[in-house]
Amino acid sequence: MEPAEKVSAAVDPAAANKSLACASAEERIHWAAQQFGDALVLSSSFGAQAAVMLNLATRVIPGIPVILIDTGYLFPETYRFVDELTERLKLDVRVYKPELSAAWIEARHGRLWEQGVAGLEAYNRLVKVEPMRRALRETGARGWLAGLRRVQSSTRQTLNIVERQNGYVKICPIADWTDRDVHAYLTKHDLPYHPLWHQGYVSIGDFHTSRPLTADLTPEQTRFFGLKRECGLHESRDGSDI
């Protein structure tokens, strides 16, 4: 067993959640840094409020690897947002892509995202889950910081600060933050929302499965046509996905 794996196995999520329950987000990131050292990464979709976690993590751990999964179908605004935040926050962005190009996937399988829940799940496995699995493996990660929050959706209401997922320990330092907390942090540090936030997008992923929030939709229905909420990276708590 490698040293980083020993550290990962030694972490007791239940004990960690108890000790970190009243800690600040910065203290939680410090804890993760102490536990995992160079085997700690941050994942980011560079979505609506991504600047919060990117700023928090890099203030505590300058140069932490930031994993971005480029599905090939991100909004043009997202790619420009990545460039903007990379330059501003001096990010070490590691871009991972599907093994096949978007055109090749469509040639083989058609538009999977238009083929119901089964198609969406197959699509997510190809363009998101597999590249993320490869990213974690190639970066040598054992600890994984993510910007998930409990108020984002019904699927995240029971989210823990520390969870184990298929050999990795996932830490969500802002799990208990409200939208008000996020806005206050962005304002305090003069950080931007994703450009599409101002056009009504509250959850931003691929352009073909993200819609702006309107009066006839709930926030969860703005992704994946309301058929599902999660993309596969964070659905499983027992490690079956990543």
Computed over every residue of the chain, the mean pLDDT equals 90
42 within 8 A of 67, measured Cβ to Cβ: yes
Cα distance between residue 13 and residue 170, in whole Å:
9
Q: Would you say residue 234 lies in a domain?
A: no
Q: What does the alpha-carbon distance between residue 229 and residue 222 come to, in Å, rounded to a whole number?
A: 9
CATH number of the CATH domain containing 201: 3.40.50.620
Residue 36, classed as helix, strand or coil, is helix
Q: What percent of the chain has pLDDT over 90?
A: 79
Looking at residue 165, what is its pLDDT? 86
Q: Is 240 inside a domain boundary?
A: no
Q: Which domain holds residue 211?
A: 3-226
Q: Per-residue confidence at 1, pLDDT binned at 50, 70, 90?
A: very low
Q: Among the options 42, 66, 89, 231, which is catalytic?
A: 231
The total domain count for the chain is 1
Name residue 238's amino acid.
D
Chain centroid to Cα 226, Å, comes to: 19
- Say what the pLDDT of residue 231 is: 57
Span of 64-68, 92-96, 120-124, 188-192 with lowest mean pLDDT: 120-124
242 located within any domain: no
Instruction: Give 124-176 pLDDT, tens digit per residue.
Output: 999 999 999 999 999 999 999 999 999 887 777 889 999 998 889 999 999 99
Q: Is residue 233 part of a domain?
A: no
pLDDT at 60 over 80: yes
Give yes or no: 231 in active site.
yes
242: pLDDT strictly greater than 80: no
- Rounded to whole angstroms, what are the CA distances from 68 to 49, 134, 215? 15, 12, 31
Where do the DSSP E strands lie in 11-161?
Answer: 40-43, 65-69, 92-96, 143-145
Q: Can you tell me the distance from the alpha carbon of 58 to that of 90, in angstroms, rounded to the nearest whole number?
A: 8
Residue 66 near residue 42, CB atoms below 8 Å:
yes
CA-based R_g, the chain, Å: 17
What integer pLDDT is reported at residue 166 of this predicted model? Answer: 82
Closest CA to 37 of 65, 17, 13: 65
Q: Which of 1-10, 42-51, 184-193 has the lowest mean pLDDT?
A: 1-10
Looking at per-residue pLDDT, the higher value among 10 and 209 belongs to 209
Does residue 236 form part of some domain? no
pLDDT score recorded for residue 224: 81
What average pLDDT does the segment 8-15 reach? 82
Whether residue 235 is predicted with pLDDT greater than 60 in this model: the reply is: no
Question: Distance between the two ends of the chain, CA-based, in angstroms?
Answer: 20
